[in-house]
Structure 1
Amino acid sequence: MTENTILKDDFIRSFSEHAGEPKEFTDFRLAAWKLASELDLPFVDKTKIDRWNFTKFDTYQAFTNENAEEVLPEKVQNLVALDDASANFYVQIDTHPAKLQLNAELKSQGVIFTDIFTALKEHPELVLQHLMTEAVKPDEHKLAAFHAALMNGGIFLYVPKNVEIKEPIQAVFVQKDASLPLVNHVLLVADENSSVTYVENYVTLDDTSKGIVNIVEEVVTRRGAKVTFGAVDNLSGHVTAYVNRRGHIGADSRIEWALGLMNDGDTINENVTNLMGDGSSGDVKTVTVGRGKQTQNVTTRVTHYGKASTGTILSHGVMKDKATTIFNGIGHIKHGASKSDAQQESRVLMLSQGARGDANPILLIDENDVVAGHAASVGRVDPVQLFYLMSRGISRAEAERLVIHGFLDPVVKQLPIEGVKVMLKEVIEGKVR
């Protein structure tokens, strides 16, 4: 071990113990840091991420509860229902909680919704049982280990057995100082026969500083549970991001993803749904808009382990300027997952000569008696659609704008919170204008 590694070990131990984290979690961090120095970056098809900075930073800020209450930025106030006492939301600014609200009814039902470090102190056994033990593991590659060692933000949401949460639960993660690395973890556990809708935003207010973001989000569902997961990522063009969202889905359980991937910087997006139980299902809808010179790699995978499991993938992307986006859609039916159904569709709309979009559908079938299919296309705005709209007095620019919004609408309309839906529409409008 080098001197710098020893110093980093001391640094990790110091802030973990100062924060009062359980000894098991301090040891977890230290073991992960050792792995981070040994493991390689993840393999990302058709993208040379070894040239990107994912791990180097000048200053680091651990999670802190200081200034727990503060005036929220206007951009954030437009996203959350501050005046609604029944609303449930959490706002994190950089690495500290700015606002948390969980209504009394959900508390009385045993729902846990808090920052992940408070959850580690108050519910250590429950958190440590699920944190990077099933869906994502620290030994997968360098970025997963780096995340486990330096985690400095995030939330824990637990829905007990038979509890159905009717209103959405919301989280907003704000980068106020982009020079500070954000290593954010979301852990959502839905116990048997429960249901919840969770929606989140990532927002950068600092659009001048260079920075790194490492996000790992785990959704674990037990038998009969249902989770609807919506997200809008809107980080600045100076931020390099690794985003790993993964579902671990039990028998007769379902997850629905609606993801608006709107970062302006170079981004690796990985969304994996592992259908572990018989009768489980996963539906993934993703939209992205690439602009400037950014590079995005979007990998969406649904892996079938359980019998009669169903997985669908729908990915739509719009490319302009000199942006590049690679869509990798993977449906994998494992041996033993008979009667399963894997379907996927990837569409890329090109707006500029210099832009590039690749759609790579992949089906891996290791079992008989299954159904699988895929579709993919890369092309320009349909001239027939433009002609139809322009023949009714609409300008070419407006007609093109309407076609683009219609193309991305399958995901936009899935978001259950009106403020978040409006924000995504505004982000799309700003990008394609």
Structure 2
Amino acid sequence: MSVETSFKYDKEYVTKFSQSRQEPQWLLELRVKAAELVNQLPMPKPDKTKIDKWNLTEFNHVSAANVTAGGELPEKVQALMPEGEQAGNLLVIQNGQTVHVSLTEELAAQGVIFTDLATAVEKHGELVQAYFMKEGVAVDEHKLTALHAALVSNGAFLYVPKNVEVSAPLQAIYYSDDASVGLVNHVIIAAEDNSSVTYVENYLSTTGEEEAVANIVSEVFAGAGAKVVYGAVDNLAKGTTTYVNRRGRVGRDARIEWALGQLNDGNTVSDNTTHLVGDGSFADTKTVNIGKENQKQNFVAQIFHHGKNSEGYILTHGVMKDEATSIFNGITKIEYGATKSNGEQTERVLMLSEKARGDANPILLIDEDDVTAGHAASVGRIDPIQLFYLMSRGISKAEAERLIIHGFLGPVVKEMPLESVKNRLVEVIERKVR
């Protein structure tokens, strides 16, 4: 389906939508500005991937269906819901509508905020305004960021005050069973100085091959000395065309660790960018992907070094099956003045069929002399020696391939910060591999 240039949700529509939710004036003005920009800005142009015929703009904005009660959610969703002490810190959103939100009294007493974005705008508007699409993802980057700002319907807001260390992971589940409604989701994580938090999210849809659209943005801010661990498993259905932009800013002696299982079944464009703005800042990005059938995907993982003595690591592992095509671009940029910085990256792609295509591109952009940087990349098929060794032990060829693939993807899988999500990632990998 060709993308139409005309944006059917004009500024009058977004004005009425914002007013119906009683949103503050700053958000209303931002939505209106974004709606005006949608028709003016070009689509993003991911390297070596043509998206001009992908449908990323045509969808219904809100769902006419009512969401279900938490106990009536599908079994796949309930299986992701944590138990024990972790069950008290959970957000579930279905078709853009909040189904469940909880935060333990202990964390609330320490000033932690964890709620859906719509509630955060209502109750903590000034705090949301300080972070929403300012220093992370900009409204005017391209057509899809403007569309996102105009129509964002829900998401998560997580705020951790200074010196507060959150030991138990906080989890969000975003579930869609209505293909007609666009998933326009926005996540903000703000960890103030010397705080720490682990956030894990699951994207899940059961819409099969029905045409659907997802436009997802996450903005993560780690203040001086703070630590944020961000885990995700993306598993949207085959008919869903996805644009996802995850952006991080890291302060002095702070760190962000990304562990991303990008396992959508449909066409996907993904941008994961981290800016190391403070001296001594640190970022570690681990991504796993499996492409199958005739999927087309484009993944960018990039780290920009601005501060001195900053460290950035990128590790990407992808498996391509059938006629799937994926581009993996890893970019390390060390800016002028970021002395003593270190940037390392590795992209590895395993292809399981003659028609599968994987393109791994490690890129180093160095504007400073006194730094260290390195990269590695490989694209190839299963090692026949490994396969022979396993089969010589009485293991079938199909089972041997499965074991090799799990071992190949292991470095990311083991980094998942929540056991239930790790199990979910293994489950999705198993299904896609078979």
Instruction: Give the TM-score of the pair, scaled to structure 1.
Output: 0.96
- Residue identity matched to 2:323: K
SS in 1 for 2:400: helix
Aligned to 1:290: 291
Say if 2:197 is the partner of 1:196: yes
**Retained in 1: the 8 A contact 2:95–2:175?**
yes
CA distance in 1, matches of 2:68, 2:128: 25
Counterpart code for 2:391: M
Conserved in 2, the CA contact under 8 Å of 1:67 and 1:96? no
Letter in 2 for 1:74: E
Q: Deviations over 1:183-219 (max 9, x none)?
A: 0000000000000011000000221421110000000
Aligned alpha-carbon RMSD (Å): 1.7
Q: 1:8 offset after TM fit, Å?
A: 2.0
C-alpha separation between the residues in 1 aligned to 2:188 and 2:326? 28
Which residue in the other structure is 2:20 paired with?
18
Instruction: Report SS of the residue matched to 1:35.
Output: helix
Taking the TM superposition and a 5 Å limit, the aligned residue runs for 1:361-372 are: 361-372=362-373
Q: Distance in 1 between matches of 2:8 and 2:174?
A: 31
Cα deviations by residue, 1:265-321 (Å, 9 ceiling, x for unpaired) = 110011001101110010000000000101000000000000110000000000000
1:344, distance to aligned residue in structure 2 (A): 0.3
Does residue 77 in structure 1 map to residue 85 in structure 2?
no
In 1, distance between residues paired with 2:325 and 2:66?
Answer: 39
Matches within 5 A, 1:115-134: 115-134=116-135
Q: How many Å apart are 1:51 and its aligned residue? A: 1.8
| Equivalent position SS for 1:138 | coil
1:232-266 CA-to-partner distances (Å, cap 9, x unmatched) read 00001101000000101111100000000000111
Bigger CA drift: 417-426 or 404-413? 417-426
In the alignment, what sits opposite 2:95? 94
Q: Which moved more, 1:70-79 or 1:235-244?
A: 70-79
Partner of 1:40: 42
Give, in whole Å, the separation in 2 of the partners of 1:85 and 1:367: 44
Instruction: State the alpha-carbon separation in 1 of the partners of residues 388 and 86 from structure 2.
Output: 49
The match for 2:235 is: 234
Which residue identity lines up with residue 262 of structure 1 in the other structure?
L
Are the aligned partners of 2:220 and 2:247 in contact in 1 as well (CA < 8 Å)? yes
| 8 Å Cα contact 2:81/2:87 also seen in 1 | no
Q: Give the C-alpha shift of residue 68 in structure 1.
A: 6.8
Corresponding letter in the other structure for 2:31: R
Which residue does the alignment assign to 1:408? 409
Paired residue secondary structure (1:140): coil
Match of 1:27 in 2: 29
**Residue pair 1:165, 1:197 contacting (<8 A) in 2 also:** yes
Q: Distance in 1 between matches of 2:349 and 2:92?
A: 33
Question: Structure 1 residues 48, 418: closer, same or farther in 2, change over 3 A?
Answer: same
Give the aligned partner of residue 307 of structure 2: 306
Task: Go from structure 1 to structure 2 and tell me whether the alpha carbon gap of 1:149 and 1:65 turns closer, same or farther (over 3 Å shift).
Answer: farther
Separation in 1 of the partners of 2:122 and 2:132?
A: 14
The one-letter amino acid of 2:318's match is: G
Q: Distance in 2 between matches of 1:6 and 1:40?
A: 16
Query: Any idea what SS the aligned residue of 1:49 has?
Result: coil
1:106: how far off? Answer: 0.3
Q: What SS does the aligned partner of 1:209 have?
A: coil
Give the Å deviation of 1:43: 2.2
1:204 alignment partner AA: S
Q: Which amino acid aligns with 1:127?
A: V
What displacement does 1:83 show? 6.0
Unaligned residue ranges in structure 1 (runs of 5+): none
Instruction: Please say if residues 207 and 239 of structure 2, whose CA atoms lie closer than 8 Å, have aligned partners that are also in contact.
Output: no
